Structure 1
Amino acid sequence: MAVKEAVSVRDNEPVIDDSPLIEPIGFTPVQVSSNRARLFLSKRALVVAACLLLSLLALTYLVIARSLIFETVPNNAKVNIDGFALPLGDGHLVLPGNYSYTISADGYLSKSGEVEVGSDGHSRHAVTLDKLPGHLQVETDPPVPVKIIINGGEVPNTNGLVENIRPGSLRVTILSDRYLPYTQVIKVEGLDNTHRLQAKLRPAWANIRISSNPPGATVTSNGKTLGTTPLNTELVQGDRVVSISLPEHKTVDVPIAVTAGVDQALPTVNLGPADGLLRVVSIPEGASVTVDGEFRGHTPLELELSSGEAHRLRFFKEGYASVVHTIDLSAGMERDLSVNLNAVYGRVFVTSVPTDAEVYIDGQYAGKSGQSFNLPTKSHKIEVRKNGYQAFDTRVIPSDKLEQTVRAVLLTKEQARWQQVPASYQHGANGTMKLMRPNAVFTMGSSRREQGRRANEVMRQVALNRPFYIGATEVTNREFRRFKRMHTSRHVNGVSLDNDNLPVVNVSWADAALFCNWLSEREGLNPVYLTERGKIVGFDSAADGYRLPTEAEWAWLARYDKGTMRKYPWGNELPIGANSGNYADSHAAKLVPAVLRTYSDRYAATAPVGSYSPNPLGIYDLGGNVSEWIHDLYTIGTGLSSRLEENPIGPQDGDYHVIRGSSWRHSGLTELRLSYRDYGEAPRNDIGFRVARWIN
Structure 2
Amino acid sequence: MTAKEAVPVRENEPANDDASVIQPIGFTPAQVSSGGNKLLLSPKAIAVVASLCFGALMLVYLLVARSLIFETQPADADVSVSGFAVRLGDGHLVLPGSYRYTVSATGYLPQSGEVEISSDSNSRHAVKLERLPGHLQVITEPAVPVRILVNGAEVDSSEGLAKSIPAGRKRITVLTERYLPFSKEVEIEGLDNTQTLTASLRPAWANVHITSNPAGATVSVEGKILGTTPLTAELVQGDRVVDISLPDHKTVQIPVPVTAGVDQTLQTVDLAAADGTLRVVSNPPGASITVNGEYRGQAPMDVALASNRRHQLRFFLDGYRSVEHTVDVRAGDLRDLNVDLTAVFGDVTITSSPPEAQVFIDGRLAGVAGETFTLPTRSHTITVRKAGYEDYQTTIVPSSKLKQSVRAILLTGEQARWSNVPAEITHGAGGKMLLMRPSSEFTMGSSRREQGRQANEVLRKISLTRPFYIGTTEVTNREYRRYQRMHSSSHTNGVSLDNDSLPVVNISWNDAALFCNWLSARDGLKEVYRTERGRVVGFDGSANGYRMPTEAEWAWAARYERGAMRKFPWGNALPVGKNSGNYADSSAGQIVPAVLRTYNDNYAATAPVGSFGPNHLGLFDMGGNVSEWIHDLYTIGTGLSTRAEENPVGPQEGDYHVVRGSSWRHAGLTELRLSYRDYGAEARDDVGFRVARWVN
For residues 422-479 of structure 1, the C-alpha deviation after alignment (integer angstroms, 9 at most, x for no partner) is 1112222221111111122222222222221222222222222222211111111222
Contact in 1 for aligned 2:100/2:113 (Cα 8 Å): yes
Where does residue 303 of structure 1 map in the other structure? 303
Q: For 1:317-396, list aligned pairs within 5 A.
A: 317-396=317-396
Where does residue 240 of structure 1 map in the other structure? 240
Q: For 1:169 and 1:463, locate their aligned partners in 2 and report how far apart those are by CA, in whole Å.
A: 98
Q: For 2:219 and 2:693, locate their aligned partners in 1 and report how far apart those are by CA, in whole Å.
A: 80
Contact in 2 for aligned 1:39/1:45 (Cα 8 Å): no
C-alpha spacing 1:184/1:288, structure 2 compared with 1 (3 Å): farther
Contact in 1 for aligned 2:460/2:640 (Cα 8 Å): no
Where does residue 496 of structure 2 map in the other structure? 496
Give the C-alpha shift of residue 587 in structure 1.
Answer: 0.8
Aligned letter for 2:539? Answer: F
Q: For 1:52-131, list aligned pairs within 5 A.
A: 52-62=52-62, 65=65, 68=68, 74=74, 76-88=76-88, 91-117=91-117, 128-131=128-131
Compare 557-566 and 160-169 and name the one that shifted more. 160-169
**Equivalences, count:** 664
Contact in 1 for aligned 2:205/2:236 (Cα 8 Å): yes
Q: For 1:510-529, list aligned pairs within 5 A.
A: 510-529=510-529
Q: What TM-score does the superposition give when structure 1 sets the normalisation length? A: 0.88
Q: For 1:438 and 1:101, locate their aligned partners in 2 and report how far apart those are by CA, in whole Å.
A: 103
Where does residue 423 of structure 2 map in the other structure? 423
Give the C-alpha shift of residue 45 in structure 1.
Answer: 3.4
Give the C-alpha shift of residue 605 in structure 1.
Answer: 1.0
Where does residue 586 of structure 2 map in the other structure? 586
Give the C-alpha shift of residue 565 in structure 1.
Answer: 1.4
For residues 573-622 of structure 1, the C-alpha deviation after alignment (integer angstroms, 9 at most, x for no partner) is 12211111111111111111111112121111111110111011100001
Q: For 2:99 and 2:449, locate their aligned partners in 1 and report how far apart those are by CA, in whole Å.
A: 120
Compare 590-599 and 628-637 and name the one that shifted more. 628-637
Tell me the SS of whatever aligns to 1:389: coil
Compare 318-327 and 683-692 and name the one that shifted more. 318-327
Residue 611 (structure 2) pairs with residue 611 (structure 1): yes
For residues 203-251 of structure 1, the C-alpha deviation after alignment (integer angstroms, 9 at most, x for no partner) is 1222222222332332222222222222222222222222333333333
Q: For 2:176 and 2:338, locate their aligned partners in 1 and report how far apart those are by CA, in whole Å.
A: 55
Compare 541-550 and 133-142 and name the one that shifted more. 133-142
Give the C-alpha shift of residue 73 in structure 1.
Answer: 5.2
Where does residue 222 of structure 2 map in the other structure? 222
For residues 86-113 of structure 1, the C-alpha deviation after alignment (integer angstroms, 9 at most, x for no partner) is 3345544444555444343333333444
C-alpha spacing 1:463/1:136, structure 2 compared with 1 (3 Å): farther
Where does residue 38 of structure 1 map in the other structure? 39
Compare 581-590 and 190-199 and name the one that shifted more. 190-199
Give the C-alpha shift of residue 71 in structure 1.
Answer: 5.4
Aligned letter for 1:443? Answer: T
Aligned letter for 2:219? Answer: V
Where does residue 447 of structure 2 map in the other structure? 447
Where does residue 695 of structure 2 map in the other structure? 695
Give the C-alpha shift of residue 299 in structure 1.
Answer: 2.2
Contact in 1 for aligned 2:203/2:260 (Cα 8 Å): yes
Q: For 1:607 and 1:89, locate their aligned partners in 2 and report how far apart those are by CA, in whole Å.
A: 112
For residues 274-326 of structure 1, the C-alpha deviation after alignment (integer angstroms, 9 at most, x for no partner) is 33222222333332211111112222322232222211112222233322222
Q: For 1:276 and 1:139, locate their aligned partners in 2 and report how far apart those are by CA, in whole Å.
A: 57
Tell me the SS of whatever aligns to 1:180: coil
Contact in 2 for aligned 1:457/1:675 (Cα 8 Å): yes
For residues 104-131 of structure 1, the C-alpha deviation after alignment (integer angstroms, 9 at most, x for no partner) is 3333333444455566666666655444
Where does residue 470 of structure 1 map in the other structure? 470
Give the C-alpha shift of residue 418 in structure 1.
Answer: 1.9
Aligned letter for 1:212? Answer: S
C-alpha spacing 1:81/1:142, structure 2 compared with 1 (3 Å): same
Contact in 2 for aligned 1:148/1:175 (Cα 8 Å): yes
* 5+ long unaligned stretches in structure 2: 1-32
| Aligned sequence identity (%) | 66
Q: For 1:49 and 1:689, locate their aligned partners in 2 and report how far apart those are by CA, in whole Å.
A: 126
Aligned letter for 2:283? Answer: I
C-alpha spacing 1:322/1:536, structure 2 compared with 1 (3 Å): same
Aligned letter for 1:179? Answer: Y
Q: What TM-score does the superposition give when structure 2 sets the normalisation length? A: 0.88
Q: For 1:555 and 1:220, locate their aligned partners in 2 and report how far apart those are by CA, in whole Å.
A: 91
C-alpha spacing 1:61/1:309, structure 2 compared with 1 (3 Å): same
Contact in 1 for aligned 2:458/2:636 (Cα 8 Å): yes
* 5+ long unaligned stretches in structure 1: 1-30
Q: For 1:113 and 1:388, locate their aligned partners in 2 and report how far apart those are by CA, in whole Å.
A: 97
For residues 122-153 of structure 1, the C-alpha deviation after alignment (integer angstroms, 9 at most, x for no partner) is 66666554443333333322222223344444
Alignment RMSD? 2.9
For residues 7-48 of structure 1, the C-alpha deviation after alignment (integer angstroms, 9 at most, x for no partner) is xxxxxxxxxxxxxxxxxxxxxxxx89999x6342x3333333
Contact in 2 for aligned 1:656/1:680 (Cα 8 Å): yes
Contact in 1 for aligned 2:458/2:640 (Cα 8 Å): no
Give the C-alpha shift of residue 193 in structure 1.
Answer: 3.8
Contact in 2 for aligned 1:377/1:400 (Cα 8 Å): yes
C-alpha spacing 1:564/1:95, structure 2 compared with 1 (3 Å): farther
Q: For 2:83 and 2:359, locate their aligned partners in 1 and report how far apart those are by CA, in whole Å.
A: 105
Tell me the SS of whatever aligns to 2:108: coil
